[in-house]
Amino acid sequence: MSNLECARKLIDRVDKEIVKLINKRARLALNLAKFKNKEKSNVYVPSREREVLNKVISSKSFLTKESLKSIYTEIINACRNIQTPVKLSSREFKKDNTIIKVNKNVEIGGKKVHVMAGPCAIESKEIMSNIAKIVKNAGATVLRGGAYKPRSSPYAFQGLGEKGLKYIKDVGNKLHMPVISEAMTVEQVNIVSKYCDVIQIGARNIQNYDLLKAVGKQKKPVLLKRGIATTIEELLLSAEYILSCGNHNVILCERGIRTFETSTRFTIDLNAVPVLKKFSHLPVVLDPSHGIGIREHVGAIAKACIAAGADGLIIEVHPQPENALSDGAQSLLPEQFNKLMKELDLVAKAVGRELL
C-alpha cells in the first residue's frame, strides 16, 4: 500500500469514528428529550446551546474557531431537530422560507411586508366599505373583518355571520383586495372559504383539532393565531395538524399571550418571531392590536414587530372606535393608521424589507 493510500485509510477510519460519535451524541440527545418532556421543559434552550458551543470552540483545535463553530452548530441543530416532534413546519423539513400566494398581488413571506387591516367585526356594508377604502389608500393589501366573533361574553355582539361575509367579499372585490375572516367551527369552514381568501383560526381555537383538520382539508391559506397560553412548540404542532392534512399554506400569527402583566390587554411575544423563524419555514404575522390592546400604543408595537422580522401585520382600524361593536379600544383611527403605515415603511426599509 502506498503512503497516500495509507493516509487515506487513516482518514476513512477517523471518519467512521466521527460518525459513530455523532450518532452516539444524537442518541444521548434523544434520551435527554425524554427528561425534558417529563419536566415539561423546552426542547430549545438557547443559553444551553450557546454554552455547549462556547465550550467546544474554546478547546484547542487545528481548525479555525469559525470552522469548528460552523461544524458544531450543524451537529447541535441536527441533534435538536430529532428531539422535536415538529416535522412538516420545520426548517429541517424545508430549508427555504415558504411564500404563500394569497392572490396574484399578495404573497406573504417574501420581501414585502403585508398589512392586513380593517375592523374587528364586520358591522354593516357601509362601515366595511368606508374602512376598506381608508386602509387600502394607506397601503394595506388584505382586508380583515370578523363575521363570526369569539366574544368573552355571550351577551356581546356575535357577528353578522354569512351576511357579513357577503359584505366583506363585495367590498374586497370592488377594491381588488383579498379578504380574511375567522371560522370558529368546522361547519363554518366551507362558508368562510367560499367568501374569503384567507381563513383565520382564532386564538381560542388554536387547539380545536377537528377545526384544524377541517381547514387542513381545504385549499385556502390559513392564518393560525397563537393562543393566549400556547407555547411556541404547541403553536407549531397545531400548524402541523393543518399541514399534515394537505394544506401547506399556513401563516403563523403571534397575537399576544397572557402573562402576570395587567396594564395591557395581552403581552405580545416578540421573542416568538426569531424563534419561529429559526424553527419553521412558515411566514410569521403579528397582531399588535390584540397584542397590546391599547390604541395609543399599537403603533409602537407594530414598528417593533417589523424590526423583529415579521412578514406581515394584522391591525384593527375603525373610524368611530367609541361606537365599534367589538375591540374599539384597540382600533386605530384612520389618520393614525395612515401615519403609522408611512412609519412602518421606513422601519421595513431599515431591515431590508419593503411595505408600501
Name the site residues for ligand PEP (rule: CB under 6 A): 120, 146, 150, 202-204, 225, 255, 287, 290
**In the complex, minimum distance from the CB of residue 202 to ligand PEP, in angstroms, rounded to a whole number:** 3
Question: Which range, of 96-104, 172-180, 256-264, 324-332, touches Mn ion by CB under 5 A?
Answer: 324-332
When binding is defined by CB under 5 A, the residue of 120, 134, 192, 223 that contacts Mn ion is 120
Q: What is the dihedral of CA 305, 311, 312, 313, to 10 degrees?
A: -20
Given the complex with ligand PEP, which of 43 and 120 has the nearer CB atom? 120
Angle formed by the axes of helices 295-308 and 272-279, nearest 10°? 30
Nearer to Mn ion, 269 or 345 (CB): 269
Q: Residue 166: exposed, middle, or buried by beta-carbon count in 10 A (0-12, 13-18, 19+)?
A: middle
Determine whether 246 is exposed, middle or buried from the number of CB atoms within 10 Å of its CB (0-12, 13-18, 19+): exposed
For ligand PEP, the closer of residues 43 and 143 by Cβ is: 143
Binding-residue total with Mn ion (CB under 5 A): 2
Site membership for Mn ion, residue 223 (CB under 5 A)? no
Which among 232, 211, 125, 214 is positioned nearest to 173, based on CA atoms? Answer: 125
Q: How far is the CB of 206 from ligand PEP (least distance, A)?
A: 8
Nearer to Mn ion (CB atom), residue 311 or residue 327: 327
The only residue of 123, 197, 240, 327 in contact with Mn ion, by rule CB under 5 A: 327
What are the helix (H) ranges across the chain? 3-38, 46-58, 65-83, 125-138, 162-175, 186-195, 209-216, 232-244, 272-279, 288-292, 295-308, 334-350
If binding is defined by CB under 5 A, does position 197 make contact with Mn ion? no
Choose among ligand PEP, Mn ion, none what residue 255 binds, the Cβ cut-off being 5 to 8 Å by kind.
Answer: ligand PEP
State the cell numbers at 351. Answer: 431591515
Q: Using an 8 Å Cβ cutoff, are 196 and 220 in contact?
A: yes
Please tell me whether residue 292 binds Mn ion under the rule CB under 5 A: no
Q: Shortest approach of ligand PEP to residue 234 CB, angstroms? A: 15
> Which of 19-28 are b and which e, b meaning 16 or more Cβ less than 10 Å from the residue's Cβ?
eeeeeeebee
Closest residue to ligand PEP, Cβ-based? 202
120 vs 237, beta carbon nearer ligand PEP: 120
Q: Does 285 bind Mn ion (CB under 5 A)?
A: no
Q: What φ, ψ does residue 117 adopt, rounded to 5°?
A: -145, 160
- What's the CA gap between 301 and 289, in Å, rounded? 9
CB of 90 or CB of 205, closer to ligand PEP: 205
Question: Distance between CA atoms of 326 and 82, rounded to whole angstroms?
Answer: 44
Residue 246 touches which of Mn ion, ligand PEP, none (Cβ within 5-8 Å per kind): none
Q: How many Å apart are CA 33 and CA 278, to the nearest integer?
A: 19
Instruction: Name the binder of 213 from ligand PEP, Mn ion, none, CB < 5-8 A by kind.
Output: none
Query: What would the DSSP string read from start to end of 177-213?
Result: --EEEE--SHHHHHHHHHH-SEEEE-GGGTT-HHHHH
Residue 150 interface partner, choices ligand PEP, Mn ion, none, CB cut-off 5-8 Å depending on type: ligand PEP
Output 87 or 204, the one with its CB closest to ligand PEP. 204
Q: How far is the CB of 287 from Mn ion (least distance, A)?
A: 9
The minimum distance between CB 259 and Mn ion, in angstroms, equals: 19
Nearer to ligand PEP, 136 or 290 (CB): 290
229 residue type, one letter: A
Interface positions with Mn ion (CB under 5 A): 120, 327
